[in-house]
Amino acid sequence: MAMIRMSSPLARAIGLGSAKEGVEHWWAQRVTAVALVPLVLWFVIAVIGLVGADRAAVIAWVKSPMPAVFLILLLVATFYHTALGLQVVIEDYVHSEGLRLGTLMVMRFLCIVLALRGVIAVLMMALGA
């Protein structure tokens, strides 16, 4: 027996459910997760080498010069992944629509501010005198 389809041919071709989204979120979370595996392992090893180091040693390390590149990649992947993850948590637990929208906006804003603060700090150390 053929299944009765209520959706239009266009809706069937696009292949999205009633939410109209979700695939990009799911995929971006995985892509950032895969990127973060080597970046986090690299960062942990680098930080262990810098335990107790003075500021001059940290700046020399950032300038060396690949750490600056990897740090910026780490910051971008971390805050993208964080924003996606916290979005799901907020959507699960904050039921009032207005409060949920406000919480999501504040969360994303904080992620962007922290990411920019980190990236600019790395750039200033990498490019500074």
Partner 1 sequence: MMSDPRPLSPHLQIYRWQLTSVMSILHRASGVALAVGTILLVSWLGAASDGPEPYAALQHFLASWLGLLLLFGWSVALFYHLSNGIRHLVWDTGHGLDLRSVYVGGWIVLAATAGLTIVAWIAGISHWRP
73 versus 82: smaller Cβ distance to partner 1: 82
Residues 103-122 that bind partner 1 (CB under 8 A): 114, 117-118, 120-122
Residue list 59-88, contact with partner 1 (CB under 8 A): 59, 62, 71, 75, 78-79, 82, 85-86
Torsional class of 113: left (φ above 0), alpha (ψ -120 to 50), beta (otherwise) = alpha
CA dist., res. 99 & res. 104, Å (int): 8
Best CA proximity match to 107, nearest among 119, 92, 90, 120: 90
Site string for partner 1, 3-42 (x = CB under 8 A): ---------------------------x--xx-xx--xx-
> What is the C-alpha to C-alpha distance for residues 67 and 33, in angstroms, rounded to an integer?
20
Please give the Cα distance from 126 to 129 (Å, whole number).
9
| Residues of this chain that bind partner 1 (CB under 8 A) | 30, 33-34, 36-37, 40-41, 44, 47-49, 51-55, 58-59, 62, 71, 75, 78-79, 82, 85-86, 89, 114, 117-118, 120-122, 124-125, 128
